Structure 1
């Protein structure tokens, strides 16, 4: 078992805890860089999809996992980013400009939604964001002159220096690069006063307000930042699916995104990535499992959303800390073995003094 002795205040805000972490993360990046030379195109496409989901998951994690604001409408921000990027590309905008515009427009819409929802919490906030998702879906359907309505909207395949960046290998590296940028941006945000204010609001709004945190300002900022990350991921998502249609950004997608952060582990950037790996692999697992199920069950049209809901319920009941929380328990088990006690992670009621009279 390793013990960490802090001798510098900067150790609390360093990106890596020690040299061991730097080694393993560096090895992971190296493995991802050489993966296209040993993997087939199908697996590269699936990994790229996980990268895109991870960027979107980081955006939702900043809002739900670190600020405590539940959202069932992030498919709308994803759609705004995807359509903005695709429309600008069709009008000849450079690829980086259209991606930046997708993130900025999504963030602006996040401010417009976050400010009126300041007085809402819990299930009421979830209902409000769900209504917003329905509104955006209908806007995408009715605004045919821009979005194409039900006919859909083709996504351009930009080419630079003779390389089409949406091909398998270039898109893999592009998604990896964007994911690294998103992770670094999120980690630096969480180390800043703004990120610490987000966490304070999540833990106790009353305590945060008593310490001088402006709830309206930081909740609105959380919505804007979360929507910006999601819109940024939406630009890559547009290239992944290749052809945009309003029904691709429905309530089921919002539930999948929420499932991703809950199953991965709320309150952790690692959790967003683990959740993206889980959600990205689950449809393939279901498709394989259909071959071994009775025909009457395998042909049920609602099998996939039903399993998503069932898995979400099971994780909330039996593993509320998600996959990343389970991984931490496994690491601690082997660190303390054979002195590990079963009650180490026994769930106990906890609250701050400011919440005792609520």
Structure 2
């Protein structure tokens, strides 16, 4: 069992709380930096998709996991960022500037969605965001002069100042840098008064309002920041696929993003990355497992949807805190063995959510 004695304010605000964090995150950083040399082209592409979905997951985690706002149309922000990036880069804009514009435009759209959604909550907020997702998908399909409509829109390799990044390793490096910056930005945001206001709204809107937190302002800000991160992910997504069509950003994509944060673990930054790994790895595992199933089951067209639904139901029933919550229990068991008791986490239901996810 590790006990941390804090003797200074600098030690209290440090991201790495002890030497174990420094060692394991350093080891992870080394592995990610060496990935282009250790992995072949296919698995490097899958790891790139994990980073892209993790950035989008951070955005939805900020909205759903830390602010308590429900969204069923988050793929629309992903689509806004992707199409903005493709249109601007095709017009000759440098890659970083187009990416910044994609994030800003997605954030502006997030504000437009967030303002009318202030009067609703829960399932009604989900219905409102779902309707917004349908509207964006229809706009992308109908605005043929700008988006290409259902015929699609091509997006080339990232280019800036005469330098084109057309290798898988180079684009992976861009995604890795963006994911690291987005993660550090999210972690630092959650330590600011704004982040603490988000968590207070999630735990109890009435209590947060009684403490002087402006609900409308912070809810709208949460939508804007969440949409900006989704826009960044969409910009990278456009360059990775190099072809965009409106049906790529439909309700199924929004459900995938929601599945990502729920299975990864609502209310944790780690959960966004664990959920992204699950979202990318699950189709691969299903494809590998088809060979060992009866042909009537293995070749069924809806097998992947059935497996996704079963896994989601299992997590909701048996592990509501997701993959990261399961890891917290395993870590506690390892730290307290042989004194760990099965009912330890059941007693924590009386605490606030923010106390349970530390």
Range class of TM-score, shorter chain = over 0.9
Which residues of structure 2 form unaligned runs of 5+?
353-358
| 1:233 counterpart = 2:233 | yes
SS in 2 for 1:247: helix
Q: Is the 8 A contact 2:291 2:298 kept in 1?
A: yes
CA apart distance, 1:5: 1.4
CA apart distance, 1:302: 2.4
Which residues of structure 1 form unaligned runs of 5+?
353-358
1:228 and 1:39 map into 2 onto residues whose CA distance is: 31
1:120 and 1:160 map into 2 onto residues whose CA distance is: 43
CA apart distance, 1:165: 2.0
With normalisation by structure 2, the TM-score equals 0.95
SS in 2 for 1:121: coil
1:161–1:60 CA distance, 2 compared to 1 (3 A): same
**1:157 aligned residue:** 157
CA apart distance, 1:160: 5.5
**2:355 aligned residue:** none
**2:263 aligned residue:** 263
1:309 and 1:71 map into 2 onto residues whose CA distance is: 18
1:154–1:92 CA distance, 2 compared to 1 (3 A): same
1:205–1:161 CA distance, 2 compared to 1 (3 A): closer
1:145 and 1:293 map into 2 onto residues whose CA distance is: 47
1:27 and 1:38 map into 2 onto residues whose CA distance is: 15
1:229–1:2 CA distance, 2 compared to 1 (3 A): same
Higher mean displacement: 237-246 or 254-263? 237-246
Within 5 Å, give how 1:183-332 maps onto structure 2: 183-332=183-332
CA apart distance, 1:293: 2.2
| 1:26 counterpart = 2:23 | no
1:163–1:304 CA distance, 2 compared to 1 (3 A): farther
2:41 and 2:210 map into 1 onto residues whose CA distance is: 54
With normalisation by structure 1, the TM-score equals 0.95
Higher mean displacement: 315-324 or 27-36? 27-36
Tell me the alpha carbon deviations over residues 38-66 of structure 1, each in whole angstroms, 9 at most, x when there is no partner. Answer: 21111111111101111010000000000
SS in 1 for 2:118: coil
| 1:333 counterpart = 2:336 | no
Tell me the alpha carbon deviations over residues 279-337 of structure 1, each in whole angstroms, 9 at most, x when there is no partner. Answer: 11011111222222222223332222232222112111110011011111101101111
Q: Is the 8 A contact 1:164 1:170 kept in 2?
A: no
Tell me the alpha carbon deviations over residues 47-86 of structure 1, each in whole angstroms, 9 at most, x when there is no partner. Answer: 1110111101000000000000011101000000000000
Q: Is the 8 A contact 1:150 1:245 kept in 2?
A: yes
2:203 and 2:79 map into 1 onto residues whose CA distance is: 31
SS in 2 for 1:110: helix
1:153 and 1:114 map into 2 onto residues whose CA distance is: 28
1:161 and 1:225 map into 2 onto residues whose CA distance is: 28
Higher mean displacement: 235-244 or 210-219? 235-244
SS in 2 for 1:117: helix
1:335 and 1:15 map into 2 onto residues whose CA distance is: 21
- Give the RMSD, CA atoms, in angstroms: 1.5
CA apart distance, 1:347: 6.1
Q: Is the 8 A contact 1:270 1:324 kept in 2?
A: yes
1:13–1:348 CA distance, 2 compared to 1 (3 A): closer
Tell me the alpha carbon deviations over residues 133-175 of structure 1, each in whole angstroms, 9 at most, x when there is no partner. Answer: 0110100110011111111001112346886424211111111
**1:177 aligned residue:** 177
Higher mean displacement: 162-171 or 12-21? 162-171
1:166–1:218 CA distance, 2 compared to 1 (3 A): farther
1:117 and 1:224 map into 2 onto residues whose CA distance is: 12
1:149 and 1:101 map into 2 onto residues whose CA distance is: 21
1:300–1:179 CA distance, 2 compared to 1 (3 A): same
CA apart distance, 1:251: 0.6
**1:356 aligned residue:** none
**1:136 aligned residue:** 136
SS in 2 for 1:343: coil
Within 5 Å, give how 1:94-105 maps onto structure 2: 94-105=94-105
| 1:118 counterpart = 2:125 | no
